[in-house]
Structure 1
């Protein structure tokens, strides 16, 4: 008899850094850039949340970690932008956990947290080549919007919003 893995999702800043580092390396690979062997080698633009996870994802935000059978399998960060919007940050699922609905569970929990914080909308940006993530966002009800930040930098990003 086969048992399905146990999946839990909870705020967990302590488990954020390894998942963020894996996210950064996955992003570099997708963009055709070299990866980093150590977090010490990360460029400044990834240090904003990595160096001080606790401050960047401080309440009323957080960093959700999904665990499969107790092992971190993915994560997503979130924080308030103004009074009404929650920004979704750095959704990542470990390759070995893909297909187990980890991303869906993370996003459902994030939406619950955003509602509890009084937000009316979730916003996010994503690399256009992340078609699997974009398909998930669209299945969840996200719609394309113009850029919501003054400066998204030199990397082209697609932006989405979800009304809570």
Structure 2
């Protein structure tokens, strides 16, 4: 069996980047399919969010965002990898890039939310050191939301 190495480039992006807009729209469509009849899919792209985009051969394949919540605390949001590129470690690379960005900005705690019907996301976050916490912010009272937190090392 021949092993192929894929080079993934992860670079910063704004909420207005066409790649971010397209990837977030795909994420929203997928969430609406996973949670039919609910209002689980995020609407719009928050202009406060700083994104990173993963590309293979200049093609955008995934994104993730960092949203400030309070001093030294931020939220990982809009984590998404196109289905054809899943299982290659791209989500973990995006998460690592966001954690490095957060540390550089003085953030010491990252929080995130995922849905209870996303076992692959839950597994990624738990294996990356995130621990379950009570719902925070707009997720309070949402029975489908699972919230996590990780304390970062300086």
TM-score by length of 1: 0.81
Aligned to 2:7: 6
Aligned to 1:40: none
1:23 aligns with 2:23: no
Residues in 1 aligned to 2:133 and 2:7: alpha-carbon distance in whole angstroms: 36
Aligned to 1:89: 77
Residues in 1 aligned to 2:66 and 2:88: alpha-carbon distance in whole angstroms: 22
Conserved in 1, the CA contact under 8 Å of 2:139 and 2:145? no
Question: Of the candidates 129, 134, 146, which is equivalent to residue 134 of structure 2?
Answer: 146
1:42-80: CA deviation from partner (whole Å, max 9, x where unpaired): xx9602x2xxx5x232xxxx1110011221010011111
Size of the aligned set, in residue pairs, is 146
More deviation in 7-16 or 109-118? Answer: 7-16
Runs of at least 4 residues off by over 4 Å: 150-155
TM-score by length of 2: 0.86
Gaps of 5+ in 1: 35-43
Gaps of 5+ in 2: none
